[in-house]
Structure 1
Amino acid sequence: MAAGRRKLRNPLALAVLVLLAERSPMHPYEIAQTLRRRGKEYSIKINYGSLYTVVQNLEKHRFVEVADVQRQGNRPERTRYALTPAGREEMLDWMADIVAVPVHEFPIFETALCLMGVLPPDEVTALLEQRVNTLEVQAAGLRGALAKLCETLPRVFVVETEYQLHMIDAEVQWVRGFLKEMTDGTLEGLDGWRAWHATGRLPQEWEQLEGEDHSRGDAADA
Structure 2
Amino acid sequence: MATKRRKLSNPLALAVMVLLTEKPMHPYEIAQTLRRRGKDTSLKINYGSLYTVVQNLEKHGFVEVAEVQRQGNRPERTLYGITDAGRAEATEWLSDLLAVPAEEYPIFEAALSLMGVLHPDEVARLLGERLSMLEVRAASLRGGLEKLYETLPRLFLIESEFKLHMIEAEAEWVRGFLTEVTAGTFPGVEQWRSFSETGEVPEEYLQLKAGEAERS
Q: Distance in 2 between matches of 1:126 and 1:28?
A: 45
**Corresponding residue for residue 9 of structure 1:** 9
Q: Is there any run of 5+ residues in structure 2 with no aligned partner, and where?
A: none
Per the TM alignment, residue 3 of structure 1 is displaced from its structure 2 partner at its CA by: 4.2
**Corresponding residue for residue 105 of structure 2:** 106
Confirm or deny that 1:170 pairs with 2:172.
no
**Corresponding residue for residue 157 of structure 2:** 158
Amino acid at match of 1:7: K
Amino acid at match of 1:116: M
TM-score in terms of structure 2 length: 0.97
**Corresponding residue for residue 131 of structure 2:** 132
**Corresponding residue for residue 149 of structure 1:** 148
Per the TM alignment, residue 64 of structure 1 is displaced from its structure 2 partner at its CA by: 0.2
Contact between 1:65 and 1:82, CA under 8 Å: does it hold in 2? yes
**Corresponding residue for residue 192 of structure 2:** 193
Q: Distance in 1 between matches of 2:213 and 2:86?
A: 51
TM-score in terms of structure 1 length: 0.94
Amino acid at match of 1:141: S
> 2:57 aligns to what SS in structure 1?
helix
Q: Deviations over 1:93-133 (max 9, x none)?
A: 00000000001100000000000011111110000000000
**Corresponding residue for residue 220 of structure 1:** none
Q: Size of the alignment, in residue pairs?
A: 216
Identity %: 66
Q: Distance in 1 between matches of 2:55 and 2:11?
A: 15
**Which of 3-12 and 59-68 deviates more?**
3-12
Contact between 2:2 and 2:100, CA under 8 Å: does it hold in 1? no
> 1:81 aligns to what SS in structure 2?
strand
Q: Distance in 2 between matches of 1:47 and 1:114?
A: 34
Q: Deviations over 1:60-79 (max 9, x none)?
A: 00000001100111111110
Q: Is there any run of 5+ residues in structure 1 with no aligned partner, and where?
A: 218-222
Q: Distance in 1 between matches of 2:32 and 2:138?
A: 25
Dislocated runs of 4+, deviation >2 Å? 1-4
**Corresponding residue for residue 21 of structure 2:** 21
> 1:9 aligns to what SS in structure 2?
coil
